[in-house]
Each structure stands twice: as C-alpha cells, then as structure tokens.
Amino acid sequence: MGKRTFPLSRVYQLLEPGPVVMVTTARAGRANIMTMSWHTMLDFEPPIVACVISNRNYTFDILKETKECVINIPTLELAEKVVGCGHSSGRKTDKFKVFGLTQANASCVSAPLIEECYANLECKVVDEKMVAKYNLFIIEVLKAWINPALKDPRTIHHRGRGAFMVAGETIKLPSKMK
C-alpha cells in the first residue's frame, strides 16, 4: 500500500490540526465506515484520543462490542466520499463497496485501514466512563501508518452545513512547544 509506519510519539501532529476523519470498524467480517469531526488528543505517548461517536450510529454498537477501530485521515480528493459516508448508515450499506474504497489489513486490530486515506491509526478503546453521558470514547493509538510522500496533506475541516475548509499553506514559527 506504499505506506510506512509512523512514530506513535508524532501522532498528535496528524490529529491536532482538526481534520475530518473516517472511522472504520468491523464485526463478523463486515467492515463499516463513519465520518467524524469531534475528536481531540488527550496525551502524547502513548497517543490517547477522545472522540464522540453518537449512539445513533452503527459504529457505536460495533465499537462497544469490539473495542477496536481505525482512524483514517482523508484528503481533499476523497471529500465527496467522506460526505457520502456521513449520509448513509452501515446498517443498510456496505460503504466500502458503494463508495469504491479499498480495505487493507491492519496489524493490531480487526478493523480495516482505508487504503485511499493518507494516514491510518489503529486504535483500541481504553476508557468508556464518558460514553453514557457524552458518547465520548477514549481510545489509544496502537500503530500508525502514513503515506510518506505527502508532506502537506490537503486535509478537510468541517465548518458545518456542507462547508469544508481545506488545509492551506504551512508556516514555521520559532516554537519551543511540542
């Protein structure tokens, strides 16, 4: 798939800018995809992420049962598929098939990677205390993959009501921050 492993200590650099992501899960050999924008880093290493997955979503049920998922980070070329995945439910639709996306095997979890995404983070659920009240899952990234050719990925960032901000230029400032 042309991807390389990416250091866990640098995973925050992929999620902190706030891209829309696609969460994959799998149960009984059947994979699903969910579009998600409500996530934040909680810790650097191991990388811990908090993310909101509504209990109305099919992914919620699978994640509660399997405790595994992959966070896939798409770029602009996939924007229509990202929206399409957000409109349909895995209860009725095989989204990989309908949207022409390719499954690749993960190495630590049973959920598949989306090959077309520029980065993939294999995750397990580590804390469900906030699920009942906020639908907030706390997950740990076990393994990260990246397309090393993409230095400044044109990630998409949801502004609501069909508007997406596309990642622009990257600037460098003298910073001591991690």
> Which positions touch its own copies (CB under 8 A)?
10, 12-13, 16-19, 35, 37-43, 48, 50-52, 76, 79-80, 83, 86-87, 129-130, 134, 136, 138, 152, 154-178
Report in angstroms how near the CB of residue 12 gets to its own copies at its nearest.
6
Q: Give the helix/strand (H/E) hosting 142.
A: strand 136-146
Write the Ramachandran bin of 129: left for phi over 0, alpha for psi from -120 to 50, otherwise beta: alpha
- The whole-angstrom separation of Cα 140 and Cα 29 is 23
Nearer of residues 87 and 97 to its own copies, judged by Cβ:
87
Nearer of residues 92 and 161 to its own copies, judged by Cβ:
161
Report in angstroms how near the CB of residue 28 gets to its own copies at its nearest.
28
DSSP SS3 for 1: coil
Nearer of residues 97 and 133 to its own copies, judged by Cβ:
133
DSSP SS3 for 22: strand
Report in angstroms how near the CB of residue 41 gets to its own copies at its nearest.
5
Write the Ramachandran bin of 73: left for phi over 0, alpha for psi from -120 to 50, otherwise beta: beta
Report in angstroms how near the CB of residue 95 gets to its own copies at its nearest.
15
Report in angstroms how near the CB of residue 1 gets to its own copies at its nearest.
23
At residue 4's C-alpha, the angle toward residues 139 and 147, to 5°, is: 90
At residue 66's C-alpha, the angle toward residues 49 and 57, to 5°, is: 70
